[in-house]
Amino acid sequence: MTTFAHHAVASPYAASGPVFVRRAALDRQAMPRPGEVPGQLRRRLLSVRAYDADAMMVTAEVLPGEALADWITTAFADRRIAYLHAHFARHGCYAARVVRA
């Protein structure tokens, strides 16, 4: 196990945590198409956090993964929001960074 700084920023929201990588995942990087939500996110309860360009949290929500696509659309309608982080809510593990297409 190793620690990964998934939010290496100069703000109170800087964060790192353990990384668990399956051997089969080492040869590829997940890069979904714009608008696509990967199955591993659609099937889980998520904590989603929206940050501005200064890495300050603007808003956050806990939601079922199947609601993520709509929440992304709503969050990015707010021009203050620069990016989102999705975490698996029950264990709090970092799952993904979401950026504007």
Is 99 within the bounds of a domain?
Answer: yes
Is 55 within the bounds of a domain?
Answer: yes
Is 3 within the bounds of a domain?
Answer: no
pLDDT at 9: 92
Is 36 within the bounds of a domain?
Answer: no
- Locate all alpha helices (DSSP H) within the chain, ordered by sequence: 39-42, 68-76
Taking only Cα atoms into account, the Rg of the chain, rounded to an integer number of angstroms, comes to: 14
- Rounded to two decimals, what is the model's pTM? 0.85
Is 27 within the bounds of a domain?
Answer: no
Give one word for 97, left, alpha or beta, with left for phi > 0 and alpha for psi -120 to 50: beta
pLDDT at 67: 97
Is 78 within the bounds of a domain?
Answer: yes
Domain count, the chain: 1
Task: Walk along the chain (101 residues) and give the pLDDT tens digit of each residue.
Answer: 578 888 989 999 888 988 776 777 666 666 788 888 999 899 999 999 999 999 999 999 999 999 999 999 999 999 999 999 999 999 888 999 999 88
